[in-house]
Every structure is written in structure tokens, then in C-alpha cells.
Structure 1
Amino acid sequence: MPDAPTAPDLPLDELAEALARGEPLALLDVREADEFEAAHVPGARSLPLSQLESAASRDALAPLAPLAPLALVADLDPGARVVTFCASGRRAARARDALSRLGLSGARAAASGMLEWLARGLPAAGAAVPHPDDARRYARQLRLPEVGPRGQARLARARVAIVGVGGLGCPAALYLAAAGVGHLTLVDPDLVSLDNLHRQVLFRTDDVGTPKVSAARAALLARSPRLTVEGRALPLGRENAIALLGGHDLLVDATDNYAARAEVNRASCELEVPAVFGAVARFEGQVTTRLPGRGPCYVCLHPSPPGDGMAPTCAEEGVLGVVPGVIGLLQAHEALKVLLGYGDPLVGTLLHFDARTSRFRALGFDRAPGCAACGAA
């Protein structure tokens, strides 16, 4: 007997309209249980694809095993349409085929899935359903499996402290806010000056003479009104670092001197909080990440302050405006990797960028025995 023809995919608009009209319809969500718990269509039934395909396998030893998944739809109105549903549509198509092998012909697969459903602001339930405005704002990001509703909710709960609101801190703050990080604490004692504007992209000419943390806060809230921003117009030092940086999930060092970086590093070690470090000068920049319990810290790399004239600041040596933009964005990305748990953070790696050649070099370094900051053995 030839296989029955496959039913065409069901457009998401048609699915939403059918549910709104109350048509008899069995919506089988074939994502894994944790995905279903995070966000699902109200009234959908959870039937993970892994279970369904196992039941439909030709190698199933128990003769009644293939019938078990069908018990989920046994109580439906005989006239109900069966629709499989997933995150983007691929698993739904496989589930439709598995149901067909189990003898349930006529099932249709939703052409797209939960990510598009959320992006359109359609009704949803679950532990990590974003605010409707957020679902649209972060629609392109929510489509990524590495983010999804659960990751976006994690970002919304995250508290990140950025020390230094200059050439590095401005792009880092801008992109972390744009990604949906829920709380930013900005630490910087300085006022905006005219010579900041070629690289410090949060500021306008009208901001000259105002505290950087205040001007940055206003700029960030104008773009992301659901963000919480706390500004601390204070220099970071040994006497206040722990108090200022405690209670955060991640620290971003965007300072321009060794003493401040060492204090961010000390706070990272004592508070056991991840930290991302960046530095720039002229046409070059570098970035590295510290994770508690994994790899070296900043002081392992630089155990003592540089000698006189060995590490001039941007004010002394100059910097091309785009270079801190590149490094600040890399710092923001490192922060997102740590907060969301994807990729390989630059732990024990110093990533160096040379704008003159547009080349990157990754330089490895190890924990320093007896490090005064992280206590490496």
C-alpha cells in the first residue's frame, strides 16, 4: 500500500484563528517538557517528540508501546483536527510523520512554532512567557534556541554592574540593555566632556558637563523603558568596591587603569561573581573573562601594576573611536554568554584585536601559583 499523502503544513495564522473560534482541535506540543513548561499555547498537550518517535520506531519491542502516545488524543471529538507544534516547525513535521506511522493519518504540522507565536504576541502560558512588548522587541533573539523564552527571562532577572561609563562601558551598556538585561548599575565619577563624544556613544553634545551615569541612564531608558538603571557617581576603590558591586550576577570592567581593574577583580574573587575585563589604547584592544572556580583571574595575568610609562591611558596616547566600540561589544557578548550559558567564554584567554590589520589573536594564560587575588594553589 502506498503511503498516504502528507497533509500540508498549517499556517500559524490559521491555527490561531481556529483556536480563537473554539474549533475542535488537538494541539500536540512536541517540544521537550522543560520547553513546554517555559511557554506554551493554552490548551496544548505536551507530547515530546522523543517519546513519540520512540513509540513509532519499527524496533519497538513491546507490541502495545506504539499505542501509548495515542491515548492522549483518544478522548477527543472524532472530528477534531490534530496539529503538531514545536519551536519553529521542524520537530512538528517529524511528529506528524510519526503519528502517521502510528496510524493517525490526517495530522498537520504547524508551519512555524512557539518562537513565532510569542513574537506575534499571541496568547501564551508558562513560567517564562515574556511581556507582550518584550516578545515583539526581542523577537529575533527569542528565535535562537540558545536564548528562547527561558533565556530571555533569565536576562530580564539579571543584575549587571558596569564599572566605567566611557568608551568601553557605553557600548557594553547599550547592547546589554538592548538584549534585555533587566538591571544595570553604572559606576563612574566623571562628567561628560566634549572629547568623550567620538567614542562614548551614549552621550550627546547637550550632555557635556553632566554626570556620565545620569546621561547614560537617560539614554538607556529612552531605548529600553522596562530596564532598571542605577547610577553611582563614585570612584571605585578598596573601601567601597564590595559594597558597590555586591548583589550582582556579573561585573563588567570598563575602566582605564590598573588600580580600578584590580578592584573589580578583587570583588569578583571575593564575591564569587563572573567578571569581563576590557582595555584599549590607540588601535588595539583586548578582552578576557573570569569565572569563579574556573581558570585564572586578571591579577594572574598582571600580578603588579605596570611601570611608569608602560601603560599610558587613552588621554595620554589617544584611541581610534571605533576600537573601544569593538571591545565593548565583545565584552557585552562575553557577558551574554555567561548569563545565558552558551558558547565558550574567554576564560584563561586574552583576545587581542588590532584595528590596523583587523586581526584577532587568542593568547592563553594560566592561573598564577599563589595569586594574591584568587588564591590559586
Structure 2
Amino acid sequence: MNIDFYYHNPTKIYFGKTALDNLEKELSEYGRNVLLIYGKNSIKKSGLYNKLTDILQAAGKKVVELSGIKSNPSYVQMMEGVRLVREHKVDLILAAGGGSVIDCAKGISVSAYCQGNPWERYWINFEEIDHPVVPVGCVLTMAGTGSEMNGGSVITNEDEKIKAGRVYPSNVFPKFSILNPEYTYTVPKYQMASGVFDTMSHLMEQYFSGEDDNTTDYLIEGILESLIHSAKAALSDPCDYEARSNIMWCAAVGLNTMTGLSKAQDWEVHMIEHQLGAYTDCAHGAGLAAVSVPYYKYIYTYGLDKFVRFAKKVWKVDTASMTKEEAALEGIKKLSEFIKLLGLPTTLRELNATEEMLPLIAESTVLGGGYRKLSGEDILKILKEAY
């Protein structure tokens, strides 16, 4: 553990079949006015919407709603939430949904009392927040992003064709998160698989960095093993509670900052996907799946030992008779096979990307990288390979 770190996670987690029983107690900690934010119709079809409104009513809350949050939440939608917070003097934002809904809720939280343009100040210039934020609580219905236990907020500015993420400090983390794995049963298979790979990508972005003997790497390997095992079980039986509960917890701990401690980290796959998503509006995990294998094939020789370890520890590859290069590539091959098992796309064409988009995506991607620092030209080569 060679990099110094500070760790604090203030989010209270209520996990399991009775988790929602704790909502009324949590609501008592906040004022009367609540903004309930959710996606389209899934929480109404599942009956969760009625459960939430009954609890809110019993708690004496005055509720205003913001619905229809997209899978890539837009700046326009976020600013509508800002308007509602200001107009109704909202005391708590309650996000019911997956990571997109929670990301949007956190965006509203930090932007509600911003002086000036929050997009420019917070997502482009990364300024510090100099005003109070509105508390956020959440009821999770789709596992993948880990947004239920961190300060991340990814918002798409559709006018500017920019999908930008910002990781805010702990005062923006949800104050509480309710995680009942049963709420994920009705998520379509493709969305479940997309969430699984989003979690996997978070773990790999943190894992593929550094050359030291780091306890965090051992944690990541264990979480990846659990995620892979449980994903296979959930594909076979979407209502396998144990599998869905494991996936939900893997997603939460996979990006609650613990799995990044004392790690340099990478995040270039995410940066590429953000701009891919800005141009195609694809599901985040699906975009990550299409980009990951070409990216890792492009950079693996710069972190060869870690890729060999990935093959051995995560995929149980017998590397005894292999060169390091062969072992590393076999691990990446196993990753590719798992993506196909999940039923996720392996090319950008499947995500409705066009050849004309590729230079635009490359030019607008935030440059970085872990084992190899990339240029715009590198990004374009990766996109062409992924196409």
C-alpha cells in the first residue's frame, strides 16, 4: 500500500428483504418537502411506487415528483429537478431507481443552490461546492453503477455532446441507501448484464494500475470472482436471491471508494465510453463491454505482470506453459468470452455508432490512462478496432 489515502464513507446501507422497513425512520430525520425522482414506469409496474408513496404519506411528507429520468440522465432533466427543489424548498431528494436516477439526484443536489452555471462550474471546471447541498437518499432497483454508496454523478449535456462525470466529496454521498435484491428481479436481462459489466469495469479500472503488492488488489480479485460466479447463476435464474444479492453488494463495494484505496487507477475505458454514450445514447455497461477488450489488447504489454495475474487469479488460467504475453492475452480472451456469455455487444456497430462518429468521439474523449497514457490518435485506433 504505497499511496497514502483518506477514507470515509458516510452512507448508511439497509440491505435485504426488509430493507424498506427502515425508510420511515430515515424520513423522520428530514423536513416535510421531498422530491421523489425516478425513471419511467418500472417502479409503478413493480408496485414499488405505491409502497414508497404510502410510506411518504404516512410520514406526513409533501411530495413533488420528477419522473422519466433517462438511462443517460440529461442536463436538461437535472435542471428541471433544480427548478423543483428551489420552487418547493425541498428538504430531501429520494431517488428510486438505478444509477442513472441516483446520479441525476446528486446532480440536482449540488446544483440546486449554485450561483452561476453548474455544468461549467462543477462538471467542466471541477470547482469546489461553496454552498449547502440537498440531502439524497435512495431506493435501489438496478445494480451496477455503485452510485448508491459514492459521490459520483455522470450527466450528459446533449446540446454539447458531452457526457461528463464528477466524483463529489462525502457530503454528497447518499445519506442512506435501501438495497433489496428482490427489486432487481424485474430488470430485463440485457440491463442486468449491462449492470454486471459496469461493476466489472469499475473493478478493472482500479485493478489495472500499480506494480506493488497491494491489499486492495486482493479485494478486487475476490469481488470479481464473486461477481462472475453470481452473474452466471442469475443468467440461469433471474430470481436467484443469493446471486442477485451478491451482484448488488459487489456493485456497491466495487465503487464505494474502498476498492480504489492506494491505487493509481486507470478510467480510460470509462472516458471513451462516456463520449461513445454522448453520441449513441447506449447503455453504459454495454458501451464499456464493446470498448474494454480492444483497449486492454492495446495497453496490456505496459502492465504485463498485472494482466498475467488477472488471468491466473480471476480466470484461473493455468499459465505454467505460457509466456507472459500468452498468459495475458488468454486472460483478455476469457474476459471477451464472458462478455459474450452476458449477451453484451462486442462491436461499436451493435451500439449504432457510425464510422463518422469515431473521430468525433476520439477528439472529445478526456485523455488519460493507467499503464499507458493515451493520445487522441491512440483512442481513434482503439475505436476502429472496436468497430
Normalized against structure 1, the TM-score is what? 0.27
The structure that is strand-richer by fraction is 1
Bigger RCO of structures 1 and 2 (CA < 8 A, at least 6 apart): 2
CA radius of gyration, larger in: 1
